[in-house]
């Protein structure tokens, strides 16, 4: 292939999000914007008002008699299996039949002429149940003898007993890490339209169309080929629409097929938050041995998670927490165990980072403990424990994967210099030494994040490309667009492959009719997998066009190349659409299905060994905060970020992903607090009580830069790296900076041991506790 100067719209260049203008002007269509056919009905869920009980029966007579009600669905109306467990463990019913497992659990669905009528009628149910004791957090659930929800994992390397025995220092501690609600702008929604025979079409807001397809087929008792799932775009997902849409798709489809009319279900925000899972909150017990220079010798950790009443994705989430409990640090001797604890709460699920952030924050807490114990700058402790370059024997993870692409030292050193970390830290310590009401803190934290689904079979993707005889291109792939710009990136890959303008490509909805057996758009793998699959399809069509061009012009195939002005064929340059028309007339096949599977990955869970990740993405953030020691209130003064995305497919989109992830990670650790009362009711169930960061909460000075010198050593799409999840953990720098500010009231002699989220109340309590201790 001859080298040509790339034009606007190709990879490694800024290209605006394909839906950006439509989104800001309100013209972008979401599931709720689809025109409703005549006769459309609306569903709403009736839910439990106790956290745990034996279910004796439900009197629905008043519900059925309510105005506008057409039908009421219970477990008896499910023609297939009453199970929507994403892992096939048969532990997550659509509607329960014997036991209520959490406050707010869906028990039935009302189908009515209007959504308001269904919502009002759902309140008339009379539930007969015998209340049972409940436990809503992992510690009380463990103490009550509740079982684990899925099999735990153990990662082990070295000799942990020897490591502790020879360590000069040892600290044991516990950190509680809160959960997080996804708070997507567009809530859950499913719209089912019945077809002939067994057929049903479901429009929904999901990151995993194939799972929605399989679950609908499962509950209807029909083959997957009878179900079509369509997703044009989502108004945010963050993992909350990977498995949690199963319930809504199932209810809409069952009702639609039972009644022979289209059915839409859209819970309000309160019910969306109480009936769907969140980020797992963890209680982490750690034990660290280290020398007088701050080098870690041994680490032991148990990671107990609030998983909820069913397994959902808790197994892989808690696994990934262990995979990232090392963050960027080498542990010579290590033993890590997970405790996926069943609780009487909604079943927790995927959330950006997928357990990784909970592992990383444990690593950073241990670094912080060492720094306070030895009176060292935490950054110096971090740098002393970084993974090595492969020549010093310090590059093997707890799961026995070698870290061969390590660039964390360069990332951190560049950020340390550009953010002027050392001088600012001295200035902050001098400011705090004056003893005023306001105290400041600064922290620079790294991130190393593994990229790939840990379930190896998910690391595959398909794509479908049609080139029509007028030269226009139709692109479809298995990924879903939730605002992150996946469609734009994949279209850039195809535009560059054909050397055509970006606007020539029509990006179409994700549908199970075109690309089957898709993986969820998750694990930061959307561009990696779907970009490669689309490139594979484009290359097939290009190869046919090259063969046709060479044969029709009587030249060798080496004399044919694609360029921004057209296809060079010998000494001629033929416009793309002209050659396509000729190829069509000559009966050349202008459609292709592409496929890609990630190479060189494997994982033996029983042994706790393997190469689960294709590569690692790296980053670092330096954050400065100011706290008020009288109220605990704080603000983020400045944040500097340097993040590694390899050779970026689209720097503008990637930078936006880094910025958004940082703010979302900061929210998880500061303002976003989930709170259940003694009866097991989630009380933070709306924006009025659950506080996500606002525009006014962003750092006063916000400097974000991509490591433009980085290039993925693995053969990823155009040598880029994933960007969705890794920068989320950059927000930990804010949490660590708050810790330094709090520690200043006791002259940095005591580790504050802040719990997450570090709300103003928790900051104030920590300040008072340290003052008393000092």
Q: Which tokens go with 92?
A: 């997550």
Catalytic-role residue among 725, 736, 755, 761 = 725
CB under 8 Å to 140, separation ≥6 — which residues?
A: none
DSSP alpha helices (H): ranges in 26-159?
61-65, 115-121, 138-143
Three-state SS string over 537-574 comes to HHHHHHHHHHHHHHHHHCCCHHHEEEECCEEEECCEEE
Q: Is 679 a catalytic residue?
A: no
Reference 758, options 743, 773, 771, 774; nearest CA is 743
Q: Which tokens go with 99?
A: 């036991």
Check: CB of residue 25 under 8 Å from CB of residue 86: no
Q: What are phi and psi of 163, to 5 degrees?
A: -60, -45
Q: Hey, is 285 helix, strand or coil?
A: strand
Q: Hey, is 306 helix, strand or coil?
A: strand
Reference 286, options 175, 384, 155; nearest CA is 175
- Pairing type for strands 282-290 and 169-177 reads antiparallel
CB under 8 Å to 99, separation ≥6 — which residues?
A: 52, 53, 54, 55
Residue with tokens 């079509």: 228
Q: Hey, is 237 helix, strand or coil?
A: coil
CB count, 10 Å around CB of 398? 25
- Give the H or E element holding residue 702: strand 701-706
Three-state SS string over 2-30 comes to CCCCCCCCCCCCCCCCCCHHHHHHCCCCC
Q: How far is Cα 123 from Cα 127, in angstroms, rounded to an integer?
A: 11
Q: Hey, is 130 helix, strand or coil?
A: strand
Biggest CA-to-CA distance, the chain: 89
Q: Which tokens go with 471?
A: 């030269």
Q: How far is Cα 285 from Cα 599, in angstroms, rounded to an integer?
A: 36
CB count, 10 Å around CB of 425? 21
Q: How far is Cα 220 from Cα 228, in angstroms, rounded to an integer?
A: 13
- Within 13 A of 322's CA, how many CA atoms are on the CB side? 32
**Sheet order of strands, 53-59 included:** 99-100, 53-59, 126-131
Q: How far is Cα 593 from Cα 91, in angstroms, rounded to an integer?
A: 36
Query: Which positions are catalytic?
Result: 725
């Amino acid at each position: 292939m001859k080298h040509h100067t790339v034009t606007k719209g190709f990879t490694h260049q800024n290209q605006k999000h394909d839906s950006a203008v439509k989104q800001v002007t309100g013209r972008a269509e979401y599931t709720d914007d689809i025109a409703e056919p005549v006769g459309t009905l609306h569903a709403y869920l009736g839910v439990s008002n106790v956290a745990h009980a034996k279910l004796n029966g439900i009197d629905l007579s008043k519900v059925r008699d309510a105005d506008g009600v057409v039908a009421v669905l219970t477990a008896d109306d499910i023609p297939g299996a009453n199970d929507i467990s994403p892992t096939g463990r048969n532990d997550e019913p659509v509607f329960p039949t014997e036991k209520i497992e959490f406050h707010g659990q869906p028990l039935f669905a009302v189908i009515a002429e209007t959504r308001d009528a269904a919502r009002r009628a759902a309140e008339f149910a009379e539930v007969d149940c015998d209340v049972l004791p409940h436990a809503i957090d992992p510690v009380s659930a463990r103490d009550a003898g509740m079982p684990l929800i899925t099999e735990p994992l153990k990662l082990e390397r070295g000799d942990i007993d020897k490591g502790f025995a020879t360590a000069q220092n040892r600290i044991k501690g516990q950190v509680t890490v809160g959960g997080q609600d996804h708070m997507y702008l567009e809530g859950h929604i499913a719209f089912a339209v019945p077809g002939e025979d067994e057929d049903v079409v479901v429009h929904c807001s999901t990151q995993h169309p194939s799972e929605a397809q399989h679950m609908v087929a499962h509950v209807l008792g029909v083959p997957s080929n009878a179900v079509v799932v369509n997703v044009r775009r989502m108004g945010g997902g963050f993992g909350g629409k990977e498995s949690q849409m199963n319930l809504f798709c199932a209810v809409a489809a069952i009702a639609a097929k039972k009644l022979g009319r289209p059915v839409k279900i859209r819970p309000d925000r309160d019910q969306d938050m109480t009936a769907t899972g969140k980020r797992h909150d963890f209680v982490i017990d750690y034990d660290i041995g280290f020398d007088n220079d701050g080098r870690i010798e041994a680490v032991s950790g148990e990671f107990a998670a609030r998983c909820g009443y069913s397994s959902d994705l808790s197994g892989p989430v808690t696994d990934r927490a262990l995979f990232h409990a090392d963050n960027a640090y080498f542990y010579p001797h290590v033993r890590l165990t997970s405790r996926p604890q069943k609780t009487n709460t909604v079943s927790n699920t995927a959330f950006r980072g997928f357990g990784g952030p909970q592992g990383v924050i444990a690593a950073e807490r241990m670094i912080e403990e060492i720094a306070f114990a030895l009176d060292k700058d935490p950054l110096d402790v971090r740098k002393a424990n970084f993974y090595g370059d492969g020549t010093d024997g310090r590059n093997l993870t707890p799961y026995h994967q070698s870290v061969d692409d390590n660039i964390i030292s360069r990332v951190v050193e560049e950020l340390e210099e550009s953010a002027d970390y050392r001088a600012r830290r001295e200035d902050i310590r001098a400011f705090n030494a004056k003893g005023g009401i306001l105290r400041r803190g600064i922290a620079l934290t790294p991130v190393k994040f593994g990229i790939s689904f840990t379930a190896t079979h998910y690391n595959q993707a398909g794509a479908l490309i049609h080139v029509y005889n007028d030269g226009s291109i139709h692109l479809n792939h298995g990924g879903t667009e939730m605002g992150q710009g996946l469609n734009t990136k994949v279209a850039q890959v195809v535009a560059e492959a054909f050397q055509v303008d970006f606007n020539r490509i029509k990006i179409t909805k994700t549908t199970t009719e075109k690309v089957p057996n898709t993986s969820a758009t998750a694990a930061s793998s959307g561009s990696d997998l779907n970009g490669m699959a689309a490139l594979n399809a484009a290359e097939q069509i290009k190869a046919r066009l090259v063969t046709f061009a060479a044969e029709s012009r009587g030249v060798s195939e080496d004399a044919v190349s694609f360029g921004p002005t057209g296809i060079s064929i010998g000494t001629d340059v033929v416009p793309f659409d002209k050659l396509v028309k000729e190829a069509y007339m000559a009966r050349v096949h202008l459609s292709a299905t592409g496929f890609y599977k990630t190479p060189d990955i494997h994982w033996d869970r029983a042994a706790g060994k393997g190469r689960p990740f294709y590569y690692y993405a790296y980053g670092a953030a330096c954050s400065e905060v100011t706290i008020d020691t009288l109220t605990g209130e704080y603000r983020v003064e400045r944040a500097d970020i340097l993040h590694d995305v390899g050779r970026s497919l689209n720097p503008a989109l990637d930078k936006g992903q880094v910025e958004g992830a940082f703010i979302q990670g900061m929210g998880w650790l500061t303002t976003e607090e989930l709170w259940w009362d003694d009866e097991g009711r989630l009380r933070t169930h709306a924006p009025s009580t659950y506080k996500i960061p606002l525009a006014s909460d962003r750092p006063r000075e916000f400097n974000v830069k991509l490591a433009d010198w980085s290039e993925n050593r693995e053969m990823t799409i155009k040598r880029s790296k994933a960007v969705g999840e890794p920068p989320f953990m950059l927000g930990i720098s804010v949490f660590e900076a708050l810790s330094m500010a709090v520690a200043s009231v006791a002259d940095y002699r005591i580790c504050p041991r802040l719990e997450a989220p570090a709300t103003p109340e928790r900051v104030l309590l920590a300040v008072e506790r340290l003052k008393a201790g000092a």
